[in-house]
Structure 1
Amino acid sequence: MIVFSANISTKHREKLQEEFPEQHFVFCDSPEEAKKYTDKAEVYVTYGNDVDEKLINQAKQLKWVACISAGVDEFPLKKLEEEGIRLTNVRGIHKIQMAEYAITMLLQVYRNSKTLIENEKQAAWDKSVRVQEITGKRILILGTGAIGGETARLAKAFRMKTIGISRSGKNVENFDEVYQTSKLLDVLPEADLIVSVIPSTQETKHLFTYEQFAAMKPTAVFLNMGRGDLLKEDDLLRAIQEKEFAHAVLDVFEQEPLPVNHPFWQEENITVTPHISGLSPAYVERALKIFAENLKVYENGENDYRNVVNLKHGY
């Protein structure tokens, strides 16, 4: 039995049933409804926020959890490993929309769009608004996978120098240079734009503290669309207020939704967006394409699944 706790449209449900007529699908409208079937599930398809140790203990027949989002930091990875349950995700399907988000938001800061929009509301014809160009700048991208690579490819259209940070430090297409995470403080002072897309792991949690923000250029723009726990929020706020760097664009936070009384909302040099960098009208279609490819592997008893999560590393 394949149980969907992820609610998908009738169109997608019918397409899966047509493509896999031998499979018994149970499509649920919510994780609460899916709990009725977990004891019979061999495959569990989820957005990821409902899988805990209790669910795994109930799902005695479970062999594979297919997460149709990319982040798996909230999964009980150790428990999955102990039970021999495979976990896959859909990393890579976010690269187009998230790279577009990054370039859009960096341009928004450099072209001073917030001021221009506010002036328009006030019918203020002010040609003194200061604007800049991103062309030819140095962009530092934390995470050189699909999203980071696509962001670097788009940056090349603006003739930027692209520098990557990754766990391995291996050279990757579209990056002029790549360094290991341990070299972060060495390369931060040279970057005009810093974009983070790295996942949440023990190594990346609070990777950015006041020390890292203070190492940036006073003119630098920092954008985080990876995970909210990458940085210490109080340190970022202090660094912005003390003008250690110029502007922060934040799409992810340790607490979401961001509380209405959070000081980030009031800071002129912080742009807040509500965790929307990964949204796309093509999202579910792309996610289910990966799931369908893996389901064929599952049916054939093979082992070459796509996007298998390393349960020790957490990505």
Structure 2
Amino acid sequence: MRIVFASKVARPPVLKALQTAPNVELIDCEDLAQVAAHVQDADALVISDPRGADGKAIADALKRDGCRVKWVQAVTAGVNGLLTHGVPAQIVITNQGGAVAPAVAEHAMAMVLAMVRRIGDIMDRSRQQRWSKEFDPPLMSVEARTMVIVGYGNIGRELAQRAKGFGMKLVGVSRSGKRDDLLDEAYPLERLHDALAKADVVAVTIASVPGTRHVIDAQAIAATKKGAYFTNVSRGETVDPVALRRALESGHFAGAFLDVTDPEPLPADDPLWRAPNLLISPHTAGAGSTQTGVRIARVVVDNVKRFQAGEPLQHTVEL
């Protein structure tokens, strides 16, 4: 089978795994911009989420007559950059099956703790050599507080495990409203506002698909308890940035910490940068784990074997 590969995410382990996989002719692209030129004669693509113009070019190539691609394997959690432009129904799309979830959940928990313990303010005062115990909003402990996790998939459950260790109460929101032994309560997505009313902390880990764009909008924010903290480690488009900025400016949210924005990178003149009590990390939640690449490579190789054997693929993306 002929596979086109392009990704900076987990590139060394995935490239090595594909190079040593039996019966694979590999086309290795240095970046996503080169992929569209090789799509026509490929059986499968192994790529990171192609955002912007790259996503459109690849989607357009997949729609051309004679294209034989049957499968796209994303080495990222999301592939919305491709789905935004439409993909032929016969093409199966899979992702990395939560391989990056432990690192993202660790980052999300760090973000929550940084907000409630006012670590940003403490760092500023330390650099200024200023001793002050006054904080606005005041310091908060997460013990016995409620975290509402919007999107209870791989990342959501990994985050729940970490939050449980800090003594938090946990509410999970998912499309199915599935229950889990880590959760105190579970809600279906259509009851999102009921869940948000209980939140001291809101953590967004939901997959970005057309149906979840701006799932956190002005109405959802209004339903959230005043003084709650907010974090997003999924995709920027799941949150209405104008509504979020206004919630911070009004004090409805005590603070927010984002790892993702819409657009990315966030332009220097975007008003979101100037929102009070907001911290932004540059989409780095998944970085740093030596095991993430190993897990991603394992998922890719397993699905290559399944594809070659005509077996169902693992970790298909629900469209």
TM-score normalised over the length of structure 1: 0.89
Instruction: Summarize the Cα distance change of 1:22–1:160 in structure 2 as closer, same or farther, 3 Å threshold.
Output: same
Instruction: Summarize the Cα distance change of 1:14–1:70 in structure 2 as closer, same or farther, 3 Å threshold.
Output: closer
8 Å CA contact 2:115, 2:256 repeated in 1: no
Which residue does the alignment assign to 2:154?
146
SS in 2 for 1:297: helix
Are residues 1:216 and 2:218 paired?
A: no
Q: Number of paired residues?
A: 308
Partner of residue 295 from structure 2, selected from 267, 271, 286: 286
Partner of residue 260 from structure 1, selected from 268, 282, 286: 268
Q: How far has the Cα of 1:293 moved from its partner? A: 0.5
CA–CA distance in structure 2, aligned partners of residues 234 and 32 of structure 1: 31
8 Å CA contact 1:67, 1:88 repeated in 2: yes
CA–CA distance in structure 1, aligned partners of residues 126 and 66 of structure 2: 56
8 Å CA contact 1:66, 1:89 repeated in 2: yes
Alpha-carbon RMSD across the aligned residues, in angstroms, is: 2.2
> For 1:126-205, what aligned pairs fall within 5 Å after superposition?
126-129=132-135, 130-205=138-213
SS in 2 for 1:80: coil
Q: How far has the Cα of 1:2 moved from its partner? A: 1.4
Which residue does the alignment assign to 1:3?
4
Listed one character per residue, the Cα deviations across residues 251-309 of structure 1 (whole Å, up to 9, x for unaligned) are 22221111111222223311112111122343333222100011111222222x11112
2:297 alignment partner AA: L
Instruction: Summarize the Cα distance change of 1:135–1:39 in structure 2 as closer, same or farther, 3 Å threshold.
Output: same
Higher relative contact order (CA 8 A, sep 6+): 2
SS in 1 for 2:210: coil
CA–CA distance in structure 2, aligned partners of residues 54 and 103 of structure 1: 39
SS in 2 for 1:174: coil
Which residue does the alignment assign to 2:72?
65
8 Å CA contact 1:144, 1:172 repeated in 2: no
8 Å CA contact 2:173, 2:195 repeated in 1: no
2:270 alignment partner AA: H
Instruction: Summarize the Cα distance change of 1:88–1:122 in structure 2 as closer, same or farther, 3 Å threshold.
Output: same
2:39 alignment partner AA: T
Partner of residue 99 from structure 1, selected from 95, 105, 108: 105
Task: Note the residue ranges of structure 1 that are not aligned, 5 or more in a row.
Answer: none
CA–CA distance in structure 2, aligned partners of residues 157 and 9 of structure 1: 33
Q: How far has the Cα of 1:58 moved from its partner? A: 6.7
SS in 2 for 1:165: strand
Listed one character per residue, the Cα deviations across residues 210-237 of structure 1 (whole Å, up to 9, x for unaligned) are 2322332232101111121222222221
Instruction: Summarize the Cα distance change of 1:78–1:127 in structure 2 as closer, same or farther, 3 Å threshold.
Output: closer
Instruction: Summarize the Cα distance change of 1:42–1:273 in structure 2 as closer, same or farther, 3 Å threshold.
Output: same
CA–CA distance in structure 2, aligned partners of residues 280 and 123 of structure 1: 31
SS in 2 for 1:223: strand
Q: How far has the Cα of 1:12 moved from its partner? A: 4.8
8 Å CA contact 1:140, 1:194 repeated in 2: yes
Q: How far has the Cα of 1:35 moved from its partner? A: 3.9
CA–CA distance in structure 1, aligned partners of residues 165 and 88 of structure 2: 43
% identical aligned pairs: 30
CA–CA distance in structure 2, aligned partners of residues 9 and 187 of structure 1: 39
Partner of residue 110 from structure 1, selected from 116, 137, 141: 116
> For 1:208-247, what aligned pairs fall within 5 Å after superposition?
208-247=216-255
Listed one character per residue, the Cα deviations across residues 39-60 of structure 1 (whole Å, up to 9, x for unaligned) are 3211111113135332112762
Listed one character per residue, the Cα deviations across residues 32-81 of structure 1 (whole Å, up to 9, x for unaligned) are 44444323211111113135332112762212111111212222489534
SS in 2 for 1:179: strand
CA–CA distance in structure 1, aligned partners of residues 79 and 117 of structure 2: 35
Q: How far has the Cα of 1:11 moved from its partner? A: 6.1
Instruction: Summarize the Cα distance change of 1:254–1:15 in structure 2 as closer, same or farther, 3 Å threshold.
Output: closer
Q: How far has the Cα of 1:88 moved from its partner? A: 1.1
CA–CA distance in structure 2, aligned partners of residues 78 and 274 of structure 1: 25
CA–CA distance in structure 2, aligned partners of residues 10 and 214 of structure 1: 45
Which residue does the alignment assign to 2:49?
48
CA–CA distance in structure 1, aligned partners of residues 231 and 59 of structure 2: 34
Task: Note the residue ranges of structure 2 that are not aligned, 5 or more in a row.
Answer: none
TM-score normalised over the length of structure 2: 0.88
Instruction: Summarize the Cα distance change of 1:253–1:171 in structure 2 as closer, same or farther, 3 Å threshold.
Output: same
